[in-house]
Amino acid sequence: MANDATGATALHPETLLVHAGTLRSQYGETSEALFLTQGHVYDSAEQAEGRFLNTDPGFQYGRLSNPTVAMLEQRMAAFEGAEACRATATGMAAVTAAVMAPVRAGDHVVAARALFGSCRYVIEDHLPRYGVESTLVDGTDLAAWRAAIKPNTKLFFLESPANPTLEVIDIAAVAAIAKEAGVILVVDNVFATPLYQRPLALGADLVVYSATKHIDGQGRCLGGLILGSKALIEADIQTYLRQTGPALSPFNAWVMLKSLETLPLRIRQQAQNATAVARWLKDRKDLPHVAFIGDPDHPQAEIIARQMSGPSTLIAFEVAGGKDAAYRFLNRLKLIRISNNLGDAKSLIVHPATTTHQRFTPEVRASMGVGDGLVRLSIGLEHADDLIADLRQALDG
């Protein structure tokens, strides 16, 4: 198979997302081929041995690698500016592998407390079961990260912007603290998108995605990605993935490869729509709180300007009157659908306190900024005027 000569980092992201990583078979197909195969046959016993010894380049078995999955990994690595990338079956498989693989019993992990519910589960409940202690800190407080470090601290984990509150953490500052302490920093970059935030360039060691979100972007496939240096990925992470088995389906990888071609177009349009919707929401005087990355009044606008190059496709806002008022509003929406997914072409809305963050006590939710009136709105590719009309009738109804 021939590889497209697109390793050059001088190419623009839009170009890399169309061409990078493409492997062409002897048939010279235009579009990336879907290799829906569990494994590969060898020409000889010697070749099989060579594949297992890594002395013969090529594919072996789908749990380890697959040509279509490899194309997705190489395209994403080129886009992100990472030395290596590994794909996983879901975003949570990526988060779990990135956090679990580098640690051992007796190690300590520090994470920001404002996290997606499942990410917080992995840090708070899962790690301690295997003898890895964890500490949650206010991620916006740099002194708290510093104070939490112990001699056995091995890894930091954060999301920025956080799900669902859009709280922002200064990634470069936390990365500097991590570096000084010899700690691995893992950043979940789902809310920022790979188009608008580059955690590796800001000093993070690993970046993880739920590819289910903007990368698929059209509500079809689950997937996850882990990106970072060859040294980190090819050591513990690759071994963890190969031996425990959360491989991405080649079919899902193929869907995502095609999705990457349109990623910048989709995200820019969704972010533009979100900007119009957020402005309209902010102008209403009846909403106690509207959070949007791109709002010049965002309390962390100065950090955002330093580390992000575009706005979010998400808006978090508070409906006055708590859960009952939030439910009345959600149930009146006609175009915007109630769903816990995000980053989709369809605009989706969710009440985090009773869904994604349901398992936490009201006190823990409050510490994460998740109140009973809070809703999280993911803006899609519809016309912004139609979204605003739907929100207006639901808020005024």
Ligand X SMILES: Cc1ncc(COP(=O)(O)O)c(C=O)c1O
Contacting residues toward ligand X, per CB under 6 A: 90-92, 95, 116, 118-119, 159, 163, 188, 190, 210, 212, 222, 224
> Checking DSSP bridges between strand 224-228 and strand 153-159, what pairing results, if any?
unpaired
Whose CA is closest to 344, among 257, 396, 274? 274
Q: What angle do CA 119, 346, 393 make, to 5 degrees?
A: 110
Q: How far is the CB of 147 from ligand X (least distance, A)?
A: 25
DSSP 305-324: HHH-SS--SEEEEEPTTHHH
Q: Please say whether the dihedral angle defined by the alpha carbons of residues 109, 138, 213 and 82, taken in this order, is positive or negative.
A: negative
Kindly tell me which of 262 and 341 has the beta carbon lying closer to ligand X.
341
Closest CA to 178 of 103, 110, 274: 110
- The DSSP bridge partners found for residue 88 are 224
Nearest to 316, CA basis, from 359, 273, 351: 351
Residue 196 CB, shortest distance to ligand X, in Å, is 15
Q: Which is nearer to ligand X, 15 or 341 (CB)?
A: 341
Question: How near is the Cβ of 252 to ligand X at its closest, in Å?
Answer: 11
CB atoms within 10 A of CB 251: 14
- In whole angstroms, how close is the CB of 266 to ligand X at the nearest point? 17
**3-state secondary structure at position 302:** helix
Kindly tell me which of 99 and 387 has the beta carbon lying closer to ligand X: 99
Give the pairing of strands 153-159 and 184-188. Answer: parallel
Is residue 208 a contact partner of residue 94, using CB atoms and an 8 Å limit?
A: yes
Least distance CB 214 / ligand X (angstroms): 11
Rank residues 66 and 118 by Cβ distance to ligand X and give the closer one.
Answer: 118
Nearer to ligand X, 163 or 270 (CB): 163
Q: Which is nearer to ligand X, 51 or 91 (CB)?
A: 91
Token pair of 14, please? 């839009």
Q: How far is the CB of 167 from ligand X (least distance, A)?
A: 12
In 3D space, the residue among 79, 38, 359, 362 whose CA is nearest the CA of residue 209 turns out to be 79
- State which residue, 122 or 278, has the beta carbon closest to ligand X: 122
Burial of 130 (0-12, 13-18, 19+ CB in 10 A): exposed
Amino acid at 340: N
* One-letter amino acid for residue 161 of the chain: P
Select 95 or 263, whichever has its Cβ closest to ligand X: 95
Q: Minimum distance from CB of 118 to ligand X (Å)?
A: 6
**Shortest Cβ distance from residue 191 to ligand X (Å)?**
6
CB-wise, 16 or 223, nearer to ligand X?
223
- In whole angstroms, the minimum distance from the beta carbon of 350 to ligand X comes to 10
Judged by beta carbon, residue 95 or residue 183, the one nearer ligand X is 95
In whole angstroms, the minimum distance from the beta carbon of 357 to ligand X comes to 11
Residue 245, both tokens: 């088995």
Greatest alpha-carbon pair distance for the chain in Å reads: 73
Answer whether 228's CB lies under 8 Å from 77's CB.
no
Is the four-CA dihedral 283, 286, 288, 292 of positive or negative sign? Answer: negative
